[in-house]
Amino acid sequence: MGDAYDCFKDGYAFHMDMVEREENRKIVESAIEKVFHQNLRVKCDFEYNLQTASDEPENEKDDEETVKEYFKDHEDKLKIIDQ
């Protein structure tokens, strides 16, 4: 079983706590499995805890390509949203 990270912005602790509840987490994991046909465990954390050491623009393409490669069989369902 792989891991899927749900990143929350600072100030969304309530939302993160709700997703981390076992009954809610199982619903999210079930939805992910239906869409991507992969059994993934949802892990939650704040965005600032999961950021890479370097957020320079040249790394953005590498990150985007990594995500596309991971979801290559479902790329038609994947939309990259610039922040």
- Is the CB of residue 71 less than 8 Å from the CB of residue 36? yes
pTM of the model: 0.54
Q: How far apart are alpha carbons 77 and 36 in whole angstroms?
A: 9
- State pLDDT tens for residues 1-58: 788 888 888 888 989 999 999 999 999 999 988 988 888 899 888 888 876 544 555 5
Query: What is the 3-state secondary structure of the chain?
Result: CEEEEEEECCCCHHHHHHHHCHHHHHHHHHHHHHHHCCCEEEEEEEHHHHCCCCCCHHHHHHHHHHHHHHCHHHHHHCCCCCC
